Structure 1
Amino acid sequence: MFHYAVLLNALGVLIGASVGFLFKRKIPQRLHDILFTVIGLTTLGIGIRMVTQGDDFLMILLALVAGGIIGELFRIEDRIEGIGKKFSDSQGFAESFLTSSLLFLVGPMTIVGSINIGLTGNADLILVKTVLDTVSATVLTATLGTGVFLSAVSVFLVQGLLVVFAKSLTFLTGDVFISDFVGTGGVMILGLGIRILKLREVKVGNLLPALVLIPIFDWLKNLF
């Protein structure tokens, strides 16, 4: 879990977020507004691309429905907002945290890269991802806010756990599992894009359990 590449990735997010936080104060409001719109549109584009990578959309739908019910019962989004109230710019905290966490973690590089570290010690994918995440964290913090800082914890925990349990999770590197995981995350990222553009208030935080459920559903499906 404490592999240097995982630590570097989390540290890269913190560094990028810190740089973005410093720049945020110097960005004029009108420029901030257009950047906010660009981030929203780009998020929509990323979400659409990821959704099209899904393999079994029935499984994705079931995972999102079940995950949404669990998330509503446990009020996950409200809890994230509660953490955000401790920060100076609590408005939009959940958006920035969820957007950055999903963009940093929902993708083949996260799964394959982390499991590769656990199995072979090869950290090349995660090191490349660290550079990408650092740059992204700068832009996201400058536009969306301080929730990006907390996403460093998500990066450390999720990738660290994948490294630790790599030998038991090799099935996740299968094409179907990765495709449906990415597709599920894509639907959520689409929801964030809609939310960032203020088209509709989508409680994406309450859908987070779907990311845990989708590989389980795919695994159960493959048993029959």
Structure 2
Amino acid sequence: MTDVFIGIGTVVNVATVIVGSLIGLALGNRIPERTKDTVTSVLGLFTMVLGGFSVVSMNSAALAADVGRSAMIVVLASLLTGTLLGSWLRVEDRLEQGAHWIRTRFRGAGDENRFVDGLVIATLVFCVGPLTILGSISDGLGRGADQLLVKATLDGFAAMAFASTLGWGVLASAAAVGVLQGSLTLLGYLAGDFLSAAQVDALTAAGGVILLGLGLRLLAVKQLPVGDLLPALLLAPVFTWAAGLI
């Protein structure tokens, strides 16, 4: 799709969280669980479609010009090395532990305020995840906001569910979404000035594989620790540069 401007994905995401929260506040607990599960499954399927489109970047002319026929090897090496590094650093576990620590800290202070609980839980769900990072960076690189638009839809439905039980704090989490994703989009925009087209294509292809894994998680097919794969996004441009020197 042709984006109106870089950052449109975050703007839409913030808007869906706000709208979803307001609908959830109005509906209360009347959203059927079956509806929530079906929507999540559809978004899982569509996430895999986006991952497939991103993986095609592995066959780009720019990447072929830099690394020849080694494009697939470069991306695979980035993913395998990134996974080993991510597993060693326990990225997935640390994300989960960080989320648990934040929630425990608020509750440990004796604050049972529903507003705070809604704010913390919703912020963690909307901001801690591979799609947040992948989508924001892709948007900043000028590759389109498709990934963030899928995330925005998912977050909108999640906001309905959370707001119906946790109240106004979920609505306030929209600010955190805007700040975090806006910062990552800016980072992607600045990185675009330093990375070659081949490096961006390698990063996009690696991200596509991670999206496929995320889609499997949303479909409850396989609970892959996709957080452990995230270091591959940093390694893909480096490996592309190194392969181009050989």
State the TM-score, normalized to the length of structure 1: 0.71
Distance in 2 separating the partners of 1:46 and 1:8: 18
Deviations 1:162-202 (A, max 9, x none): 445665x0x43x1x222221110010000001111111110
Contact 1:96-1:144 at 8 Å conserved across structures: no
Contact 1:81-1:94 at 8 Å conserved across structures: no
Q: Between Structure 1 and Structure 2, how many residues are aligned?
A: 198
The 3-state SS of whatever aligns with 1:53 is helix
Q: Which has the larger radius of gyration?
A: 2
Cα pair distance change 1:135/1:159, threshold 3 Å:
closer
1:111 aligns with 2:138: no
Residue 155 of structure 1 aligns with which residue? 181
Distance in 2 separating the partners of 1:213 and 1:8: 27
Picking from 38, 42, 47, the partner of 2:42 is 38
Distance in 1 separating the partners of 2:43 and 2:188: 29
State the TM-score, normalized to the length of structure 2: 0.65
Residue 199 of structure 2 aligns with which residue? 177
For structure 1, which segment, 144-153 or 202-211, has the greater mean C-alpha deviation from structure 2 after superposition? 144-153
Residue 79 of structure 2 aligns with which residue? 64
Contact 1:100-1:137 at 8 Å conserved across structures: yes
Cα pair distance change 1:138/1:20, threshold 3 Å:
farther
Residue 191 of structure 1 aligns with which residue? 213
The amino acid across from 2:185 in the alignment is Q
- Paired residues for 1:5-20 under 5 Å: 10=10, 12-20=12-20
Which ranges of structure 2 fall in alignment gaps of 5 or more residues? 60-70, 104-116, 163-169
Contact 1:95-1:192 at 8 Å conserved across structures: no
Which ranges of structure 1 fall in alignment gaps of 5 or more residues? 114-124
Distance in 1 separating the partners of 2:80 and 2:89: 14
Aligned residues with identical type, % of pairs? 24
Distance in 2 separating the partners of 1:32 and 1:38: 10
Contact 1:71-1:205 at 8 Å conserved across structures: yes
Residue 29 of structure 1 aligns with which residue? 33
Cα pair distance change 1:144/1:110, threshold 3 Å:
same
Shift of 1:112: 3.9
Distance in 1 separating the partners of 2:127 and 2:36: 14
Distance in 2 separating the partners of 1:94 and 1:198: 17
Contact 1:40-1:196 at 8 Å conserved across structures: yes
Residue 110 of structure 2 aligns with which residue? none
Residue 117 of structure 1 aligns with which residue? none
Contact 1:12-1:133 at 8 Å conserved across structures: no
- Paired residues for 1:49-60 under 5 Å: 49-55=53-59, 56-60=71-75
Contact 2:137-2:184 at 8 Å conserved across structures: no
Contact 1:17-1:138 at 8 Å conserved across structures: yes
Shift of 1:53: 2.3
Deviations 1:65-85 (A, max 9, x none): 111111112111122213333
